[in-house]
Amino acid sequence: MIEVVYALWRRDMVKFVRDRRSLITSMVRPFLWLLAFGFGLRASVRLPGAGGDFVSFLVPGLAAMTVLFSSMFAAISIVWEREFGFLKELLVAPIPRGAIVTAKLCAGSATATVEAGLMLALSPLAGARFSVLGAIAALPLLALFGMSVNALGIVVAARMKSFEGFGSVVNFVIQPIFFLSGALYPIDSLPRALRAVVLVNPMSYVVDAVRGLCLGRHSFPIALDVAVALAAALAFGALARQAFNKMEV
Amino acid sequence: MLNAIEVEDLAKKYGDIEAVRGIGFTVGAGEIFGFLGPNGAGKTTTIKILCTLLQPTSGRARLAGLDVATSPGDVRRRIGVIFQDPALDDRLTAEENLMLHAVAYRVPRAERAGRIAEALRFVDLHERGRDLTRTFSGGMKRRLEIARGLIHRPEILFLDEPTTGLDPQTRARTWEVLRALRRDFGTTLFLTTHYMDEAENCDRIAVIDHGKIVALDTPAALKQRVGKDLVTARSAEPEPLARLLSEKYGITSTPAEGGLSFLVEEGDAFIVKLLTADHPPLGGISVRRPTLDDVFLSLTGRQIREEGAEGQFARLRAIARRRG
């Protein structure tokens, strides 16, 4: 069982390593945000509290954003493999469907975490300053977040018959998760109603923890952030497994 | 010895549509058994049920004595499936595809490399093992899938339209491989096809139409059932010949290009009799034994349909999407 999960995980990783171009293009989105948004607004933004460089402030949120987009869109492989037949090969094999889902979650999360790690490693070139040890400590948390997001992607993919359908639903889901997460702004001073929405978004806690580890500024206890990330991964993982089990080929 | 496949009163409904309506048959161990029928007859649905991908609405199917609905895991370990459309990961190499399969089917670690090399040699792809599968032609992909089907030494191998879309040489080569498989490993082969010439490779054929088995026998016996040979006579004036046939022999003929044609038992003997007794004015004459096409026509009253333009269009669209 573990060997099969590893073999399936490795399959996705081999393809990720072979496709270097996608690793490079995955850096475009966070760095566009960092440069355009960070430097564009840096002069006019005054962060509450001490030590407020806006570019550095954005980096943890954009690392989480990288995971969000990458891991969510990684789930399109389910649609792809169903469309082109490979999924049938897996489904008639004597392996439990749970093993297939687990391998997918781990692979989607691992590739997204590698991309977020690369983004963090490159961001000092844009003038960002943060604790390197903190950033390294944040990687497992980003990986956990990657699993929840990939699971959500699988829930969508299991119901979709086309790439276009997957793309439009995922875009619809991904924008509010990103914009209502505190990735781009501090959440403490938000209007009450908006803050309430941000508080039910699991990504807010991930951003909070990563920012806490990297910059030492956070709104919640880190233990709470980790607990929420873990609960989200378990809940969405279970949903993904259920959706995958029900899926017709 | 256990039968490889036993099917009783199997049915599958999709909503109101009855794709398979109560079919039953048995396939002996080591047999090559063909499901022949037009597209949409229920062939793929049957194969999906036998491979545990679909639950039947009613009836039961047992593979090597195991019920497909209640012990799918045990069934999966014993079977191999080669689908209608390639089910390879085309961004992996041939060897990587086979290795994944070996792990999934729990081939003992020490035997994996050996079996992969052996399987690749078997289908003549041993020099392409390290190449990405996306660089393979359609025929090579099909052969690689057959190689993959061998890795775990299945007792029963299912093939859904194994040679659709392949050129004649590749089809012949695929059949060599399949026959060698039975000879060397005693594998039972269950295949679906809508090609008559392909069905001739089977030991027995079930003719399926509108979800029902309309005949089940050896290809020779099925052809025997039609019985009559098709005689085609070339003649500038077919009318006197047509009159002669109907008045003297009670045979109804139909006009054909440059003459007429008719069905008669033991066609070659009949021609000799006709020529010596009646001296009809003929430009030429030929006899053709009944083919499975004729069998299908006589059983269903319809010609078996070749794949329509719609299917090809869908395929093109899939290719375009893959490239896009």
Q: What is the pLDDT of residues B107-161, one digit of tens each?
A: 999 999 999 999 999 888 999 999 999 999 888 898 899 899 889 989 999 998 8
Instruction: Residue B91: list chain A partners with CB under 8 A.
Output: 15, 18-19
Q: What is the pLDDT of residues A26-42, one digit of tens each?
A: 999 999 999 999 989 88
Question: In B, residues 166-195, which contact A (CB 8 Å cutoff)?
Answer: none
User: Would an 8 Å CB–CB cutoff place B76 in contact with chain A?
Assistant: yes
Longest dimension (CA), chain B: 77
Q: What is the pLDDT of residues B202-253, one digit of tens each?
A: 999 999 988 999 999 998 888 887 778 888 888 888 888 888 888 888 888 8
Question: How much is the average pLDDT of A227-231?
Answer: 97
Number of cross-chain residue pairs from A and B with Cβ atoms under 8 Å apart: 67
In the predicted structure, residue B46 carries a pLDDT above the cut 60 = yes
The pLDDT of residue B309? 40
CATH fit for domain B5-219, picks 3.40.50.300, 3.40.50.2000, 3.90.1010.10, 3.30.470.20: 3.40.50.300
The ipTM estimated for the assembled molecules is 0.86
Tokens of B113: 């490399």
Of residues B322 and A1, the one with the higher pLDDT is A1
Q: Find the length of chain A.
A: 249
Q: Find the length of chain B.
A: 324
Residue A88 C-alpha, separation from nearest chain B C-alpha, in angstroms: 7
The pLDDT of residue A141? 97
Q: What is the pLDDT of residues A1-12, one digit of tens each?
A: 789 999 999 999
Quickly list H helices, chain A: 2-18, 20-25, 28-32, 40-42, 54-74, 76-83, 86-91, 97-122, 132-159, 163-179, 192-200, 202-215, 222-246
- Flag the least confident range among A30-34, A100-104, B271-275, B296-300: B296-300
Tokens of A91: 């489904």
pTM: 0.81
The pLDDT of residue B310? 43
Question: How much is the average pLDDT of A203-213?
Answer: 97
Of residues B305 and B174, the one with the higher pLDDT is B174
Do residues B190 and B156 make contact, with C-beta atoms less than 8 angstroms apart?
A: yes
Q: Which DSSP string corresponds to B19-33?
A: EEEEEEEEE-TT-EE
Q: CA B95 to CA B114: how far, in whole Å?
A: 11
Domain count, chain A: 1
| Bridge partners for B125 per DSSP | none
Domain that holds residue A41: 2-246
Q: Which phi and psi angles does B94 have, rounded to 5°?
A: -55, -45
Question: How much is the average pLDDT of B21-29?
Answer: 94
Among A126, A171, A136, residue whose Cα is nearest residue A33 = A126
In the predicted structure, residue B304 carries a pLDDT above the cut 70 = no
Tokens of A150: 């990939």
- What mean pLDDT value characterizes chain A? 93
pLDDT-derived band at B313 (thresholds 50, 70, 90) equals very low
The pLDDT of residue B318? 52
Q: CA B187 to CA A96: how far, in whole Å?
A: 25
The pLDDT of residue B303? 67
Q: Does domain B228-289 have CATH number 3.30.70?
A: yes
Residue A144 C-alpha, separation from nearest chain B C-alpha, in angstroms: 26
Instruction: Provide the Cα torsion A214, A220, A224, A230; round to 10°.
Output: -60
Among A171, A184, A163, residue whose Cα is nearest residue A80 = A163
The type of residue at B198 is E
Instruction: Provide the Cα torsion B50, B53, B59, B63; round to 10°.
Output: 30
The pLDDT of residue B189? 95
Q: Report the run of H or E that residue B262 belongs to, with start and end.
A: strand B259-264
Domain range summary for chain B, segments of one domain joined by +: 5-219, 228-289
Q: What is the pLDDT of residues A8-24, one digit of tens each?
A: 999 999 999 998 888 89
Contact assignment for B101 to A95 by CB distance below 8 Å: no
The pLDDT of residue A20? 86
For residue B192, what are the contacts with CB-CB under 8 A and spacing of at least 6?
B34, B35, B36, B37, B43, B44, B46, B47, B159, B160, B161
The pLDDT of residue B306? 47
Instruction: Residue A5: list chain B partners with CB under 8 A.
Output: none
For residue A237, what are the contacts with CB-CB under 8 A and spacing of at least 6?
A101, A105, A147, A148, A151
Q: Do domains B5-219 and B228-289 have the same CATH topology?
A: no
Q: CA B253 to CA B262: how far, in whole Å?
A: 5
Of B83, B103, B148, the CB nearest to A85: B83
| Bridge partners for B16 per DSSP | none
C-alpha distance across the termini of chain B, in Å: 52
| Orientation of helix A132-159 relative to helix A97-122, angle to 10° | 140
- Flag the least confident range among A156-160, B84-88, B199-203, B318-322: B318-322
Do residues B75 and B52 make contact, with C-beta atoms less than 8 angstroms apart?
A: yes
In the predicted structure, residue A177 carries a pLDDT above the cut 80 = yes
Q: Which DSSP string corresponds to A126-155?
A: GT----HHHHHHHHHHHHHHHHHHHHHHHH
The pLDDT of residue B168? 82
The pLDDT of residue B1? 57
